[in-house]
Amino acid sequence: MSKYAYPSFAPQHGYMSESIQQKFITSAIEKNLLPSDAHRMRQIVSLTASNDEAKPIQFWQLYSVLGQDRIVRIVTNFYERVFNDEEWFRSVFIRVGPMDHHIRTQASMWLDVMGGGFAYHGGEFRLNFHHTHNAMDLMNEKGAAHWAKLMVETLDDSAVHMTADPRVRTSLNTFLAYFFDKYATEFSFKYDSAFGDTNPAVIRKINFRNMTSDAIEALTETELREALVGRGVDLSESRGKKQLVSKALTM
């Protein structure tokens, strides 16, 4: 019996959750972190975290585990650090508004993306505008590295808000790493992953017996090879997708 009973909080899509979800899945498929049909896999696209600890929590499922209060507390911890930090760094935030303003807007963005409903008015347009106008002075290697340092300290100090589910921290790392990769590309700065372990790759379990020949032929060579090896098939003499398909059809 599972020790979890999600959702602990009822999730729903917001202004940007579905769009970010689809972009992340597409990117993860390209990196072989998610299977090619991940857009259609219920455990992946659902806004509710799996109760199976062997399955990672996708970051758009975090609200179903944490709810609003815990997410706001984590964001609050971060901005308390920011507003007590070095002048060159905190001055960029002070210029935009007081600490309460930053807590509200950042928490709204997190809630929206994490499955907490319509929280961040303006969605991706607003987020992009903020980074190209308000935060431009920090959208560089030095600013990003310092932001990441403070966020890691925040997460290390916020375990009490992450419940007892060990997957939560990894999911938060995945969320942050995704956006940092995105900003590093958009603003042309170097970024080395700093948040820690991210979600492991999800390998789809393929049952050839339940698949038509057309469905088997539609699998990628990598998917065929992994599924056959997983069933103990010796592929040392197999060459190319055609032979893999032939083996799969005999299973």
Q: Which residues make Cβ contacts (< 8 Å) with residue 160, sequence separation at least 6?
A: none
pLDDT of residue 83: 98
CA neighbours closer than 13 Å in the CB half-sphere of residue 215: 8
Same-domain status, 53 and 76:
yes
Asked if 139 and 34 sit in the same domain, the reply is yes
Bigger pLDDT: 209 or 6?
Answer: 6
pTM above 0.85, yes or no: no
- How far is Cα 160 from Cα 155, in angstroms, rounded to an integer? 10
CA 63 to chain centre: 13
Residue linked to tokens 């179903």: 64
Q: Are 166 and 217 contained in the same domain?
A: no
Indicate if 181 and 98 belong to the same structural domain: yes
Average pLDDT over residues 119-125: 93
Range 123-139 average pLDDT:
88
Summarize the confidence of residues 76-104 as an average pLDDT.
97
Reply yes or no on whether the pLDDT at 1 is more than 70: no
- Chain-centroid distance of CA 165 in Å reads 16
Q: Are residues 83 and 136 in the same domain?
A: yes
Taking only the tens place, the pLDDT of each residue in 21-77 is: 999 999 999 998 998 889 989 999 999 999 999 999 999 999 999 999 999 999 999
The answer to whether the CB of 244 falls within 8 A of the CB of 225 is yes
Q: What is the pLDDT of residues 137-182, one digit of tens each?
A: 999 999 999 999 999 999 999 999 999 999 999 999 999 999 999 9
pLDDT of residue 42: 92
Identify whether residues 145 and 216 lie together within a single domain: no
In terms of domains, do 228 and 136 share one? Answer: no
Answer with the residue of higher pLDDT: 186 or 239. Answer: 186
Confidence of residue 102 (pLDDT cuts 50, 70, 90): very high
Determine the 3-state secondary structure of 160 from DSSP: helix
Q: Which domain holds residue 174?
A: 1-204
Give the pLDDT score at 111. 98
Q: Which residues contact 122 (CB under 8 A, 6 or more apart)?
A: 15, 129
Do residues 224 and 185 share a domain? no
CA distance 89 to 115: 30
pLDDT digits (tens, 9 = 90+) for 192-248: 778 999 999 987 777 788 888 888 888 778 778 877 877 778 888 777 888 888 888
Q: At 193, which CATH number?
A: 1.10.490.10
Distance, first Cα to last Cα, the chain:
32
Q: At a CB cut-off of 8 Å and minimum separation 6, what does 9 contact?
A: 63, 64, 65, 66, 67, 68, 116
Distance CA 172, CA 58 (A): 9
Task: Give the whole-angstrom CA distance, residue 191 versus residue 99.
Answer: 26
Domain count, the chain: 2
Please, where are the H alpha helices in the chain?
Answer: 17-30, 42-45, 62-82, 87-96, 99-113, 123-129, 141-156, 167-186, 213-218, 221-230, 240-249
Q: Do the beta carbons of residue 116 and residue 71 sit within 8 Å?
A: yes
Residue 196 and residue 223 share a domain: no
